[in-house]
Structure 1
Amino acid sequence: MVKLFIGGHPLTMDELQLVQLVSPYGQVATIKMVRDRQTRKSKGYSFLEITDTEGAERIMEALQGKAYGDKELKINIVPPDAEPAKKVQRPGGFRAPAYPRVDRRGSSSYGSPSNDGSKPRRPRKQF
Protein backbone atom coordinates (compact mmCIF):
# COMPACT_ATOMS: atom_id res chain seq x y z
CA MET A 1 0.00 0.00 0.00
CA VAL A 2 1.17 3.48 -0.89
CA LYS A 3 -0.11 6.55 0.93
CA LEU A 4 -0.82 9.68 -1.14
CA PHE A 5 -1.34 13.25 -0.02
CA ILE A 6 -3.77 15.14 -2.24
CA GLY A 7 -3.98 18.84 -1.53
CA GLY A 8 -5.70 21.76 -3.17
CA HIS A 9 -9.02 20.12 -3.89
CA PRO A 10 -12.14 22.28 -3.56
CA LEU A 11 -13.63 22.62 -0.09
CA THR A 12 -17.00 21.48 -1.43
CA MET A 13 -15.60 18.12 -2.65
CA ASP A 14 -16.65 15.03 -0.69
CA GLU A 15 -15.04 11.60 -0.39
CA LEU A 16 -17.07 10.01 -3.20
CA GLN A 17 -16.11 12.72 -5.69
CA LEU A 18 -12.43 12.38 -4.76
CA VAL A 19 -12.49 8.60 -5.21
CA GLN A 20 -14.25 9.01 -8.58
CA LEU A 21 -11.52 11.45 -9.63
CA VAL A 22 -8.58 9.12 -8.87
CA SER A 23 -10.09 5.65 -9.43
CA PRO A 24 -9.47 5.56 -13.24
CA TYR A 25 -5.71 5.66 -12.51
CA GLY A 26 -5.38 3.44 -9.42
CA GLN A 27 -7.39 1.41 -6.93
CA VAL A 28 -8.18 3.26 -3.68
CA ALA A 29 -8.08 1.19 -0.47
CA THR A 30 -8.83 3.88 2.14
CA ILE A 31 -9.50 7.60 2.20
CA LYS A 32 -9.18 10.18 4.97
CA MET A 33 -10.48 13.64 4.13
CA VAL A 34 -9.26 16.14 6.70
CA ARG A 35 -12.11 18.24 8.11
CA ASP A 36 -12.51 21.03 10.63
CA ARG A 37 -13.55 19.59 14.01
CA GLN A 38 -16.27 22.10 14.75
CA THR A 39 -17.80 22.82 11.35
CA ARG A 40 -17.04 19.42 9.71
CA LYS A 41 -16.11 21.27 6.49
CA SER A 42 -13.23 19.99 4.38
CA LYS A 43 -9.87 21.71 4.82
CA GLY A 44 -8.93 21.04 1.18
CA TYR A 45 -6.56 18.09 1.56
CA SER A 46 -6.85 14.34 1.97
CA PHE A 47 -4.84 11.15 2.42
CA LEU A 48 -5.50 8.12 0.23
CA GLU A 49 -4.03 4.62 0.43
CA ILE A 50 -3.51 3.12 -3.02
CA THR A 51 -3.13 -0.65 -3.35
CA ASP A 52 -0.03 -0.61 -5.59
CA THR A 53 2.92 1.66 -6.40
CA GLU A 54 2.19 1.76 -10.14
CA GLY A 55 -1.33 3.07 -9.47
CA ALA A 56 0.01 5.78 -7.17
CA GLU A 57 2.52 6.87 -9.84
CA ARG A 58 -0.23 6.95 -12.52
CA ILE A 59 -2.36 9.14 -10.25
CA MET A 60 0.55 11.53 -9.71
CA GLU A 61 1.32 11.75 -13.46
CA ALA A 62 -2.29 12.29 -14.46
CA LEU A 63 -3.45 14.74 -11.78
CA GLN A 64 -0.36 16.64 -10.54
CA GLY A 65 -0.88 20.36 -11.17
CA LYS A 66 -4.27 19.93 -12.87
CA ALA A 67 -6.90 22.58 -12.24
CA TYR A 68 -9.96 21.18 -10.48
CA GLY A 69 -12.67 23.67 -9.66
CA ASP A 70 -10.94 26.89 -8.68
CA LYS A 71 -7.79 25.24 -7.28
CA GLU A 72 -4.74 23.32 -8.49
CA LEU A 73 -4.17 19.75 -7.26
CA LYS A 74 -0.93 18.89 -5.47
CA ILE A 75 -0.10 15.22 -5.03
CA ASN A 76 2.80 13.71 -3.06
CA ILE A 77 3.71 10.21 -1.91
CA VAL A 78 3.90 10.07 1.89
CA PRO A 79 7.07 8.28 3.02
CA PRO A 80 6.33 5.01 4.86
CA ASP A 81 8.40 6.04 7.89
CA ALA A 82 6.56 9.35 8.38
CA GLU A 83 4.82 9.46 11.74
CA PRO A 84 1.68 11.52 12.31
CA ALA A 85 2.12 14.64 14.41
CA LYS A 86 1.46 14.11 18.11
CA LYS A 87 -1.21 16.27 19.65
CA VAL A 88 -0.24 18.31 22.68
CA GLN A 89 -2.39 17.51 25.68
CA ARG A 90 -3.52 20.65 27.43
CA PRO A 91 -5.32 20.68 30.74
CA GLY A 92 -8.97 21.41 30.18
CA GLY A 93 -10.43 24.51 31.72
CA PHE A 94 -7.18 25.72 33.29
CA ARG A 95 -6.72 29.46 33.34
CA ALA A 96 -3.84 31.23 35.01
CA PRO A 97 -4.80 33.97 37.47
CA ALA A 98 -4.59 37.51 36.15
CA TYR A 99 -2.94 38.81 39.36
CA PRO A 100 0.03 37.57 41.42
CA ARG A 101 -0.82 35.11 44.18
CA VAL A 102 -0.25 36.21 47.76
CA ASP A 103 0.97 33.69 50.33
CA ARG A 104 -1.16 33.97 53.49
CA ARG A 105 0.01 30.96 55.48
CA GLY A 106 1.31 32.97 58.41
CA SER A 107 -1.95 34.63 59.33
CA SER A 108 -5.59 33.68 59.31
CA SER A 109 -8.44 35.83 58.22
CA TYR A 110 -9.58 35.99 61.88
CA GLY A 111 -6.48 37.69 63.23
CA SER A 112 -4.54 34.87 64.96
CA PRO A 113 -1.43 33.50 63.21
CA SER A 114 -1.17 29.77 62.65
CA ASN A 115 1.89 28.29 64.38
CA ASP A 116 1.92 24.81 62.87
CA GLY A 117 2.18 25.96 59.23
CA SER A 118 -1.23 24.63 58.27
CA LYS A 119 -4.00 26.58 56.61
CA PRO A 120 -6.13 28.84 58.78
CA ARG A 121 -9.44 27.32 59.84
CA ARG A 122 -12.80 28.96 60.04
CA PRO A 123 -14.40 28.97 63.47
CA ARG A 124 -17.28 26.53 64.01
CA LYS A 125 -20.80 27.82 64.17
CA GLN A 126 -22.35 27.88 67.60
CA PHE A 127 -25.93 26.61 67.80
Structure 2
Amino acid sequence: MIKLFVGGLRPDVSEMDIAMLIGLYCNIETIKVVRDRATHKCKGYAFVETSKLEDAQRVISALNGESFKGNVLTIKVSEDEAPKAPKFNKFASKRSIR
Protein backbone atom coordinates (compact mmCIF):
# COMPACT_ATOMS: atom_id res chain seq x y z
CA MET A 1 0.00 0.00 0.00
CA ILE A 2 1.08 3.53 -0.75
CA LYS A 3 0.00 6.06 1.88
CA LEU A 4 -0.54 9.65 0.81
CA PHE A 5 -0.54 12.64 3.15
CA VAL A 6 -3.24 15.12 2.17
CA GLY A 7 -2.84 18.49 3.89
CA GLY A 8 -4.57 21.85 3.64
CA LEU A 9 -8.05 20.51 4.34
CA ARG A 10 -10.86 22.58 5.80
CA PRO A 11 -12.27 21.68 9.24
CA ASP A 12 -15.61 20.64 7.70
CA VAL A 13 -14.19 18.21 5.13
CA SER A 14 -15.69 14.72 4.98
CA GLU A 15 -14.36 11.38 3.81
CA MET A 16 -16.82 11.59 0.90
CA ASP A 17 -15.37 14.96 -0.19
CA ILE A 18 -11.89 13.43 -0.31
CA ALA A 19 -13.13 10.29 -2.06
CA MET A 20 -14.86 12.33 -4.76
CA LEU A 21 -11.73 14.42 -5.37
CA ILE A 22 -8.97 11.80 -5.20
CA GLY A 23 -11.08 8.97 -6.59
CA LEU A 24 -10.89 10.64 -9.99
CA TYR A 25 -7.17 9.77 -10.15
CA CYS A 26 -6.80 6.45 -8.31
CA ASN A 27 -8.52 3.53 -6.65
CA ILE A 28 -8.75 4.38 -2.96
CA GLU A 29 -8.23 1.59 -0.45
CA THR A 30 -8.66 3.62 2.77
CA ILE A 31 -9.26 7.20 3.88
CA LYS A 32 -8.41 8.43 7.38
CA VAL A 33 -9.36 12.02 8.17
CA VAL A 34 -7.52 13.14 11.31
CA ARG A 35 -10.05 14.81 13.59
CA ASP A 36 -10.01 16.70 16.88
CA ARG A 37 -11.34 14.43 19.62
CA ALA A 38 -13.46 17.11 21.27
CA THR A 39 -14.97 18.86 18.23
CA HIS A 40 -14.70 16.07 15.63
CA LYS A 41 -13.53 18.68 13.11
CA CYS A 42 -10.75 17.85 10.68
CA LYS A 43 -7.33 18.96 11.93
CA GLY A 44 -6.40 19.94 8.40
CA TYR A 45 -5.01 16.70 7.07
CA ALA A 46 -5.87 13.13 6.14
CA PHE A 47 -4.23 9.97 4.87
CA VAL A 48 -5.33 8.10 1.76
CA GLU A 49 -4.04 4.66 0.81
CA THR A 50 -3.87 3.30 -2.70
CA SER A 51 -2.38 0.05 -3.93
CA LYS A 52 -0.27 1.32 -6.85
CA LEU A 53 2.64 3.72 -6.88
CA GLU A 54 1.56 4.95 -10.33
CA ASP A 55 -1.83 5.95 -8.91
CA ALA A 56 -0.18 7.81 -6.03
CA GLN A 57 2.07 9.69 -8.45
CA ARG A 58 -0.94 10.58 -10.62
CA VAL A 59 -2.76 12.04 -7.59
CA ILE A 60 0.29 14.06 -6.56
CA SER A 61 0.84 15.39 -10.09
CA ALA A 62 -2.79 16.37 -10.52
CA LEU A 63 -3.68 17.78 -7.11
CA ASN A 64 -0.59 18.94 -5.17
CA GLY A 65 -0.74 22.75 -4.95
CA GLU A 66 -4.30 22.91 -6.30
CA SER A 67 -7.18 24.65 -4.56
CA PHE A 68 -9.89 22.58 -2.87
CA LYS A 69 -12.80 24.32 -1.11
CA GLY A 70 -10.72 27.49 -0.85
CA ASN A 71 -7.54 25.90 0.58
CA VAL A 72 -4.34 24.90 -1.21
CA LEU A 73 -3.67 21.17 -0.99
CA THR A 74 -0.37 19.56 -0.10
CA ILE A 75 -0.19 15.95 -1.26
CA LYS A 76 2.85 13.75 -0.89
CA VAL A 77 3.80 10.18 -0.16
CA SER A 78 3.68 9.76 3.60
CA GLU A 79 6.98 8.79 5.13
CA ASP A 80 6.95 6.36 8.02
CA GLU A 81 7.42 8.06 11.35
CA ALA A 82 10.96 7.95 12.60
CA PRO A 83 11.36 6.21 15.93
CA LYS A 84 11.00 8.69 18.74
CA ALA A 85 13.89 9.22 21.09
CA PRO A 86 13.18 8.28 24.69
CA LYS A 87 12.26 11.22 26.86
CA PHE A 88 14.68 12.25 29.55
CA ASN A 89 13.17 12.44 33.01
CA LYS A 90 15.25 14.84 35.08
CA PHE A 91 13.59 13.60 38.26
CA ALA A 92 14.51 9.95 37.74
CA SER A 93 16.95 8.56 40.27
CA LYS A 94 20.53 8.23 39.13
CA ARG A 95 22.06 4.81 39.36
CA SER A 96 25.72 4.15 39.26
CA ILE A 97 27.03 1.30 37.17
CA ARG A 98 29.73 -0.77 38.85
Q: If the TM-score is normalised by the length of the shorter chain, which range does it land in?
A: 0.7 to 0.9
Identity among equivalent pairs (%): 39
Distance 1:85 1:37 in 2: 24
TM-score, normalised to structure 2, is 0.79
- Sort the Cα spacing of 1:85 and 1:42 in 2 relative to 1 into closer, same or farther, 3 A: farther
| TM alignment of 1:28-107, pairs within 5 A | 28-79=28-79, 82-83=80-81
TM-superposed CA distance for 1:83, in Å, is: 3.1
**Structure 1 gap segments, 5+ residues each:** 87-127
Matched, 1:12 2:25: no
RCO greater where, 1 or 2, for CA within 8 Å and sep 6 or more? 2
Number of residues paired by the alignment? Answer: 84
Q: How far is 1:74 from its partner?
A: 0.2
What is the rounded CA distance, in whole Å, between the counterparts of 1:69 and 1:48 in structure 2? 18
Q: Secondary structure at the match of 1:54?
A: helix
Higher helix share: 2
What is the rounded CA distance, in whole Å, between the counterparts of 2:75 and 2:83 in structure 1? 20
Deviations 1:43-84 (A, max 9, x none): 1100111111000000000001001122100001013xx137
Greater radius of gyration (CA): 1
How high is the TM-score relative to the length of structure 1? 0.62
Larger fraction in strand: 2
